[in-house]
Structure 1
Amino acid sequence: MTSLSQNRRIIRPVTLQDYEEVVYLYFQLTEGRPVASGAEGRTHFQKLLAHPGTVIFGAEVDRCIRSMATLHLLPNMTSLGRPYALVENVVTHEAYRRIGLGRAVLEALIAAAWEEGAYKIMLLTGKQRTAVQFYKKIGFSADQKHGMVLRRD
């Protein structure tokens, strides 16, 4: 698949009805690491969708979610109390990459964060992934901060 007509793609918040497609994308994203699925996963997904300040944006193509990213808007005291945003779990279905879906999802997410008054948007990406150039083209920079992670596995 090399091109996609604009009228077949819709960028929208995902809903509980998108659960199966979203779980499939999470499995592609995590490359074998655990993903909550089944009835327990559906419960976690409902909780995520209901969390204040959290929206998962998806690119729907032919009535299926093919790309998505999660936006968390977080309350803040600095920057005059303006919120900041955290982007997580950016993924595009392997058969739908390089046709602009990921960019469209992130552009919608960025617009929503700015509309809510966020003063910055942050994301982390894996060092082994080739996504750094993708994020730079959209406007993200690694020049100001160092991303660090502490995991409890």
Structure 2
Amino acid sequence: MTDLVIRPAASADLSHLLDLYRHLDAEDTRCPPGVAVDVFERFRRYDGSAILIGLIGEAMVASCTIVVIPNLTRGGMPYALIENVVTHGDCRGQGFGKAILAAAVERAWAQGCYKAMLMTGSKKPETLAFYAAAGFEASKTGFQVRRLPPRAE
């Protein structure tokens, strides 16, 4: 675990990042390369936000996305939304997911956020226990309107 390096993704990481996302949902439609480059560059310009990656040597083993959202309540303090939390299937249970989430929360605090939140559609006890062990609490009720169907469990 001490060899894990966490940093924001760079353009050169994009192909490996898209490969890692297969471990989030193998059936998900892969973002086409040209679209991925455009989306990634737009995202990098979104102030305070990042796609964090965790590396062991050259191998990308974990990632999550943090978006810092401006806010006119809470004295103007922003909040953070964490999405696309994924650990390579061969690397789960080694603390990489918790480490990437801790880095995302640390980034949220550094950006002056008053809270960092995430949602999961999973009902799996081990997934819910993972988020609780990473310091997140199930304290809100989430609602959504979807254009695409949820991921399969």
Amino acid at match of 2:65: T
Q: Write out aligned runs for 1:78-89 (5 A).
A: 78-89=73-84
Counterpart of 2:18 in structure 1 is 23
Q: Which runs of 5+ in 1 are unaligned?
A: none
User: Does structure 2 conserve the Cα–Cα contact (< 8 Å) formed by 1:56 and 1:70?
Assistant: yes
TM-score with structure 1 length normalisation? 0.88
Residue 133 in structure 1 maps to residue 129 in structure 2 = yes
- Pick from 96, 101, 109: which aligns with 2:104? 109
**Residue of structure 1 aligned with 2:138, choices 128, 139, 142:** 142
C-alpha RMSD of matched pairs (Å): 1.5
- Contact 1:23–1:37 at 8 Å: present in 2 too? no
Alignment of 1:33-112 (within 5 A): 33-112=28-107
The amino acid that maps onto 1:20 is S
Contact 2:48–2:111 (Cα < 8 Å) also in 1: no
Question: Which stretches in structure 2 are left out of the alignment for 5+ residues?
Answer: 149-153
1:38 offset after TM fit, Å? 2.0
Q: Using the alignment, how far apart are the partners of 2:21 and 2:122 within structure 1?
A: 18
Normalising by structure 2, report the TM-score. 0.88
Q: Which amino acid in the other structure matches residue 72 of structure 2?
A: M
The offset of 1:128, in angstroms, is 3.8
Contact 1:36–1:44, Cα closer than 8 Å, also in 2: no
For the 8 Å contact 1:83–1:118, the answer to whether it is kept is: yes
Deviates more, 1:86-95 or 1:131-140: 131-140
Size of the aligned set, in residue pairs, is 147
Name the % identity.
33
**Letter of the 1:9 counterpart:** L
